[in-house]
Amino acid sequence: MRRTILLALLFCVTAAAQQPVVTVPGEPENLGRIKEQLKHYQSCAEPDCYVPQLERQADLAIGFLRQSVSTAKPGDKLALVLDIDETSLSNWSVEILDDFGYIPADSDLCVKLRCGKAIPSTLRIFREAEKQNVTVFFITGRPEEQRDDTEANLKIEGFDRWEQLYMRPSDGPKDETALVYKSGERAKIVAAGYRIVLNVGDQMSDLNGDPQADHSVKLPNPFYFIP
């Protein structure tokens, strides 16, 4: 009996001495947990998941495209601009392989192997442009040296016809941001007499800057950021 009382008192003293864990105010969410959230987001089917969001954005883009065609004047040269990586082609396989890091050798190998897979929602936009006789241009941050593999990958995945594929020149400025580079390429399209009625990309740097399209639609991409 006495031993039981002593043990009970000892337990109470120990419990009273315990303190809650002191956490770090303002600590960012753990990177490992974020990666797991990204994997779930990419594969789940609820309305706020990746593929349903892609489909909703594509529906909006196609609506804008049809609206522009219906209000076009005779002689207007209408253009659609598409980004490639994570807009037209998905590189999810290499993103998972590299645990969301950027390893240039792996990315280059993916291009060489033509491992990009068509994003179906963007392919729908592309097909609508073909149907409406809207000229398609691709603008990508990929270097010129990857042109043959990039063109082959696009065609294999169903993007079979376009007017021009703009790629970063080998002798271009190394520190030029995507926003500046892509704005400049769009300016060339406008200078050729086209009216860009729709621009679709997964980064704001694909869409911002002058000249802007009549309508710009961003696709979801929480996997990486390009300024």
Calpha distance 155→158 (Å, rounded): 5
As a dihedral over the C-alpha atoms of residue 150, residue 156, residue 162, residue 163, rounded to 10 degrees, the angle is: 40
Tell me, yes or no, whether 181 lies in a domain.
Answer: yes
Calpha distance 204→193 (Å, rounded): 25
Q: What is the CA radius of gyration of the chain?
A: 25
Calpha distance 196→112 (Å, rounded): 31
Calpha distance 166→180 (Å, rounded): 14
CATH code, 142: 3.40.50.1000
Tell me, yes or no, whether 142 lies in a domain.
Answer: yes
Q: In total, how many domains does the chain have?
A: 1
Backbone angles phi, psi at 4, to 5 degrees: -65, -40
Tell me, yes or no, whether 130 lies in a domain.
Answer: yes
Report the amino acid identity of residue 201. Answer: G
Tell me, yes or no, whether 192 lies in a domain.
Answer: yes
* DSSP code of residue 214: S
Calpha distance 117→197 (Å, rounded): 26
Q: Which domain holds residue 123?
A: 59-88+118-218
As a dihedral over the C-alpha atoms of residue 134, residue 159, residue 125, residue 101, rounded to 10 degrees, the angle is: -130
Calpha distance 56→30 (Å, rounded): 30
Task: Supply the pLDDT for residue 4.
Answer: 58
For the chain (length 227 residues), average pLDDT per consecutive 10? 54 64 95 98 98 98 98 96 98 97 96 98 98 98 98 98 96 92 98 98 98 98 97
Q: pLDDT tens-digit profile of 90-141?
A: 999 999 999 999 999 999 999 999 999 999 999 999 999 999 999 999 999 9
Ramachandran area for residue 209 (φ above 0: left; ψ -120 to 50: alpha; else beta):
left
pTM: 0.90
Task: Supply the pLDDT for residue 9.
Answer: 47
| SS3 state of residue 47 | coil
Q: Which two tokens stand for residue 221?
A: 């991409």
Tell me, yes or no, whether 50 lies in a domain.
Answer: no
